[in-house]
A and B are shown apart, each in its own frame.
Chain A
Amino acid sequence: MPGSGAGSSARTEALRITDLTVRYRSSDVLSGIDLVVGTGELVALLGPSGAGKSTLLNAIAGLVAPSAGEIALAGTVVAGQDIDVVPERRDIGLVFQNYALWPHLSARDTVGYPMRRAGLSRAESDRAALELLRRLGIEQLADRKPAELSGGEQQRVGLARALAREPRLYLLDEPTAHLDTQLRATFQAELRTRQLRSGAAGLCATHDPAEALAIADRIALISGGRLVQVGTPTEVYERPVSAFAAQLTGAASILRAPVFTADHDLVDINIGDVSTRVAGATDGPLSPGVQSILIRPEWTTEAGPFAGAVTAHWFRGPHTDYLVRSAAGEVLIRRGGPPTHAVSEEISWGLRRAWVIGGGQPQDQPRDQPQLRSPAVSQPNAAAMPR
């Protein structure tokens, strides 16, 4: 798996998961998960709903028992090898997707709860809880119960409760799933600065590629209970291991076209008898022939050797996406400004970049993964893409 564990042995590890399997009613919810999170590192767990993200977080927290494999926190095995440390003895803080705030406790009592469990007196935990709420800017809500808090406020209280434990590893389960766009951006910024300051590690489950790319040091793509790819945001976005991985991280067109190695990392791509040469499309030797080629909308250029008819277009605000028919399939092209070409108009385009999926090696896609969809419908949050 490219990128996984690269260089992490040199650092201290906050979390190491080895060959983890969780079976539920004789079907594998998670299988063969290997993942390392270094100290101070924030890893995003990106995948569609039902991929096993929550189960993985729950297994790390000790709320779900693994069927096989091993989990170690800061070098200490907490699950596996006949060891099963109970959740309250694991050094983690968990932020729940639905916040899981106790309806009978005020914000202050909720945040003070982990401190009380750690042995602080009521007066001490009260003071510390208020201080924490103040740092998050919600001390005026200290005496309110969850029913009297808005979604964003509940989320902050849930976060404060996790912070109150001062753990070495934070687990965040879709922390922004129920927030509107603006609150989401605020939270992402806050999480990043807070995490940088504390030096603690984080594992953040999300189904939003824009969020994962924006906040994470590394991204782990998960699907059908397996890790598909682990790497830095750039790696995962620009050099996906499969068409499926490419579509998980943003708008992607996949063309089938013949490719030839020109020189080292220069590759010739042939679409409809016209050829173009791009750099960085592969990181190894390429087997010539018809290959799957990933094209991100922003990798296309305005002028170029190729031509095709516009079949649809979407105005995204800063730019417009055109779906263009080419000899090798439909391709999504991005141009600045509002739409200037009508449907069925012929436009010319070129390529600045491309990525030959699988380096031209025969691809073995797991059968349980969704089939490739046409690029027109596979553009998750293309507008929110931070580039």
Chain B
Amino acid sequence: MSHPRLVSGSRPRASGPVRAATVITILAVAGLIGYPVARLIPSAHFGAALSAPGVGLAAWHTVALAAVVTVVAVPVGAAMALAVRRPDLPLRRTLSVAMVVPLVFPQFVLGYSWTQAYGKAGFTDTFLGLHWQGLLGPAGIAVVLIINAAPLCYLLTAAGLATRAQPDLEHAARVSGASPATVLATVTLPLLRPALGAAAVLTFVATLESFAVPQMLGAPAGFSTITTRIYADLALGSDPATFDEAVALALGLVLLAAVLLIPADLILAPRLRSERTGQSSSAGGRAPRTARSMFIAAGMWLYLALGVGLPTLALIAASITRAIGLKPTPSNWTLDNFSALATPASAQQLAHSLELAVAAAFILVVLGAIVALLARTVHGRALLGLTTLSLVVPGSTLAVGLLLAYGRWLDGTLTLILLAYLAKLWALASRPISGAVDRLPPAEVHAARTSGAGPLAALRTVVVPALAPAVAGAWLLVFLTALHEVTISSLLYSTHSETVAVALLNSQELGDIGQTAALSVSLTALVLLAALPMAALLRMAVRRRGIALPDVSELPREVSVAR
């Protein structure tokens, strides 16, 4: 070693930067979440709000909807994850990817595509004369939200299977005399309990917070939930009483979410984080292809075709068909709906969406990295816990709180929406990054230091390459979620800060089918355009460097809640 002094001697603790980062984090949490939510409390007039007609019913609808969606989506997602593990399943890899595809669709695009597929004057109506009466109403909302939530339950179960239920554990049960059904009941499902619990809690809370689908499918039928009621109070109402009601509902929603999420996070998070116990060793599949697995695969494809495939086709058809009610045959095709989008207003909306998404992604990746690195210090765990708050506070609540807190200065500006995004999506950025930091073995840094690297060189050569995929993944996640976002922006936008997603919602409410479909297709294409190259780059980085991607178990929980 040519410079032994660089390695030996005590390492100075960088207490200055650590303190500064701690202060920044605490100020950000207080300013973005703490103060706005606290501002709600003195302004809430529960008595008056709760006695208003329809409020109790909206609250009941919200809870019942969340219960129904959870009870169906969790078993569906879990069954899919278990089915995809069958080694004899035809097209197994394709299916395992296809199951996640619905995540690409913004919730309201999925809802809208269902109206185009199964609603009145929709695809099945045009061709078969059949349409589903219940689509506009609680049943339709529940079905669309289930299809929206199932991929997350699927991912959480799959992650649970990968980390806790290794094939060897099931093999051990088989050679102990257990039949496949007994193995499922005595080994697989008990091991999946934390994952299924997390999936249930997250699905429940995500449904509580969901806005776009209940609004789109519920409003025409007069079905309201807490979130749509807040929207109606703020966007349509004008007197102080409706504003008070919105504040009270926002506060009620955050209480409901907190009561569920905080204990669940405390109980489940450490169990989900438990490490892989050993490398699994299974070469080759067991049985040759059976009729049963063909049957299961067929069922899964049918589910995907009816739930996502046909609605997507119907949406595309609607976007290129000349007029409502015409059959989507080539003679009726047109690009008018898309060319009608090429207006200065649309360009403005697109610019707003992109500005918001890019700004939120960059700021949150920096904040997320700060929190993740701080989490390694003594008090850092508590800071990481603070960012969990951003998971707990529903978007509608944040929007109302921020409006109360900063509306005087920022009402109707993009900045206000950006602040809300920062508050809502923070955990989305910090959790994957801190997960990657957690998995970085200290020995790797020590090895770099004992090989002659200084602290900065070690950071650059060992830490940064290992964290790069997680940081890129966090950036992408925030960017895409911000593009999708409509709950917050629909409450806070003005004519100067309209985004594509808000324009879509408004155009749907105006009933312009061709235009709405074209906007939906464009937004989804935009999302795909951003997601695919990034995902490919990530995968390449992973393959080249042999670095683990951010744990899937850490991603979906935030995706679901951030919607």
Contact = CB atoms under 8 A, between A and B. Distances in A.
Interface in B136-183: 164, 166, 168-169, 171-179, 182
A98 B277 CA distance: 9
A87 B288 contact: no
B175 A55 contact: no
Given A65-B286, A98-B281, A102-B191, A90 B175 contact: yes
B182 A65 contact: no
Contacts of A23: 284
Contacts of B343: none
Interface in B174-196: 174-179, 182, 186-187, 190-191, 193
Contact of B279 (A88, A98, A146): A98
A64 B172 contact: no
A313 to B, nearest CB: 30
B284 A24 contact: yes
Contacts of A92: 175
A63 B277 contact: no
B191 A104 contact: yes
Nearest to A66: B284
B287 interface: yes
Contact of A63 (B182, B186, B282): B282
B330 interface: no
A114 interface: yes
Contact of B178 (A64, A88, A90, A93): A88
A117 B182 contact: yes
Given A22-B284, A65-B288, A86 B174 contact: yes
B283 interface: yes
B177 A118 contact: yes
Given A63-B174, A100-B169, A29 B284 contact: yes
Contacts of A165: 175-177
Contacts of A63: 171, 174-175, 282, 286
Contacts of B274: 103
Nearest to B178: A117
B88 to A, nearest CB: 10
A94 B168 CA distance: 11
A346 interface: no
Contacts of A161: 172, 176
B169 A94 contact: no
A54 interface: yes
A301 interface: no
Nearest to A111: B176
Contacts of A86: 174, 179
Interface of B is mostly: loop
Contact of A55 (B171, B284, B285): B284
A264 B56 CA distance: 105
- Output the residue of B174, B179, B186, B279 with the most chain A CB within 10 A: B174
Nearest to A23: B284
Given A84-B287, A102-B169, A104-B190, A93 B281 contact: no
B278 interface: yes
A118 B179 CA distance: 11
Given A84-B287, A98-B168, A103 B174 contact: no
- Output the residue of B174, B177, B278, B281 with the most chain A CB within 10 A: B177
A30 B187 CA distance: 30
A155 to B, nearest CB: 12
A205 to B, nearest CB: 11
Contacts of B179: 86, 88
Contact of A113 (B164, B173, B279, B283): B173
A58 interface: yes
A103 B168 contact: no
Given A94-B175, A96-B168, A100-B169, 5 more contacts: A29-B284, A58-B283, A65-B288, A86-B179, A96-B172
- Going nearest first, the 10 A-B pairs with the smallest beta carbon separation are A98-B278, A117-B177, A114-B176, A100-B168, A87-B174, A24-B284, A100-B172, A94-B175, A88-B177, A104-B190
Interface of A: 22-24, 29, 54-55, 58, 61-65, 84, 86-88, 90, 92-94, 96-104, 113-114, 117-118, 146, 161, 164-165
22 contacts: A22-B284, A29-B283, A62-B174, A64-B284, A65-B285, A65-B288, A87-B171, A94-B172, A96-B172, A98-B278, A100-B169, A100-B172, A102-B191, A103-B164, A103-B169, A104-B190, A104-B193, A113-B186, A117-B176, A161-B176, A165-B176, A165-B177
